[in-house]
């Protein structure tokens, strides 16, 4: 079975450029999560979706960040304009949640470097 | 929100040694998972264990939900066990809350 698939695996860009990260969750999962990992802050939840609907985006740092889930098999996280402090590893994860239970599975992450 | 504390923060072992990692949480949980983040950054699922005991090879885990803690046991450690071990829990909210991790280094 395919796991959570993220692209690109690595992205190097210059400050001010738009960055789009992509995620395909595991088929049949109804919840999708975007996390960011840095040395300073560890793993932070940015936003999560349930049945393609954003439920909690309180972790999104600021208006430069946006996320969409147009269908059950695809999500994007966009940063526009990017800044050096956005450099981090961005993880997508998915789960089949029922009654607040359900195992979470992570993709391999997208390592973003903003120069 | 729910608080998750892991101990120890760092652990150095000789190959072949055993170890116990601990995860304390501040409220009742519906979900508890242990992950291993390897040196390449991948987050690998180890156990989904909201309660009880599970074993997988040299690893086992026990969660005592009524006392709000979980333990991860690693026996006969190998260098490939090195990395960061995260505990993550879900309470009433849908999202997992992660602990700050235990950095394990296994020396040859």
HSE value, Cβ hemisphere, 13 Å, CA-based, for B56:
9
Cα-atom radius of gyration of chain B, to the nearest Å?
13
Q: Is the pLDDT of residue B94 over 80?
A: no
Mean pLDDT of A45-55: 93
Contacts of A56 in chain B (CB under 8 A): 93-95
Contact check, Cβ <8 Å, B50/A111: no
Give the whole-angstrom CA distance, residue A76 versus residue A34: 9
Contacts with A86 (C-beta within 8 Å, 6 or more apart), sequence order: A19, A61, A64, A79, A112, A114
Q: Does residue B93 register a pLDDT over 80? A: no
CB atoms within 10 A of CB B44: 12
Supply φ then ψ for residue B105, to 5 degrees: -120, 120
Q: Are strands A10-13 and A110-114 parallel, antiparallel or unpaired?
A: parallel
A15: contact with B, CB 8 A cutoff: no
Report CB contact under 8 Å: A100, B35: no
Asked if residue B92 has pLDDT above 80, the reply is no
- Using a 10 angstrom Cβ sphere, with 0-12 exposed, 13-18 middle and 19 or more buried, the burial of residue B24 is middle
Note whether B25 and B3 are within 8 A (CB).
yes
Min Cα distance B10 → chain A (Å) is: 15
The pLDDT of residue B96 is: 86
Distance between CA atoms of B10 and B7, rounded to whole angstroms?
8
When pLDDT is averaged across residues B83-108 and rounded to a whole number, the result is 91
pLDDT for A1 beyond 70 = no
Give yes or no for a contact between A66 and A6, defined as CB atoms under 8 angstroms apart: no
Q: How far is CA A35 from the centre of its chain?
A: 5
Mean pLDDT over the full length of chain B? 94
Which stretch, A59-63, A100-104, B24-28, has highest mean pLDDT? B24-28
Query: What confidence tens digit (pLDDT) does each residue in A52-87 have?
Result: 999 989 899 889 999 999 999 999 999 999 999 999
Q: B61 to chain A nearest CA, in Å?
A: 16
pLDDT greater than 80 at residue B46: yes
The band of B73, judged by pLDDT with boundaries at 50, 70 and 90, is: very high
Mean pLDDT of chain A, nearest integer:
93
Give, rounded to a whole angstrom, the gap between the first and last alpha carbons of chain B: 40
- CB contacts of B45 in chain A (<8 Å) are 103-106
Query: Residue A100: is its pLDDT beyond 90?
Result: no
Higher pLDDT, A97 or B17: B17
Q: What pLDDT score does A71 carry?
A: 95
Q: What share of chain A has pLDDT > 90, as a percent?
A: 83
Give the pLDDT score at B105.
97
If pLDDT is split at 50, 70 and 90, which confidence band does A99 have?
A: low
């Amino acid at each position: 079975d395919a796991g959570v698939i993220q692209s690109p695996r690595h992205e190097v860009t210059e400050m001010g450029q738009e960055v789009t990260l992509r995620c395909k969750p595991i088929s049949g999962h109804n919840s999708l999560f975007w996390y960011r990992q840095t040395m300073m802050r560890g793993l932070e939840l940015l936003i999560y979706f349930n049945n393609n609907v954003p439920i909690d985006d309180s972790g999104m740092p600021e208006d430069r960040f946006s996320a969409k889930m147009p269908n059950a098999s695809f999500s994007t996280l966009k940063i526009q304009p990017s800044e050096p402090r956005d450099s981090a590893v961005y993880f997508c994860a998915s789960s089949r949640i029922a009654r607040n239970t359900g195992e979470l599975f992570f993709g391999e992450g997208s390592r973003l470097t903003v120069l | 929100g729910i608080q998750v504390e892991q101990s120890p923060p760092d652990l150095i072992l000789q190959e072949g040694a055993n170890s116990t990692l601990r995860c304390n949480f501040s409220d009742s949980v519906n979900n508890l998972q242990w992950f291993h983040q390897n040196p390449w950054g991948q987050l690998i699922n180890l156990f989904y264990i909201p309660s009880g005991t599970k074993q997988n090879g040299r690893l086992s885990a026990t969660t005592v939900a009524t006392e709000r803690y979980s333990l991860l046991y690693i026996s006969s450690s190998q260098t490939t066990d090195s990395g960061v071990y995260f505990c993550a829990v879900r309470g009433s909210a849908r999202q997992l809350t992660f602990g700050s991790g235990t950095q394990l280094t296994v020396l040859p």
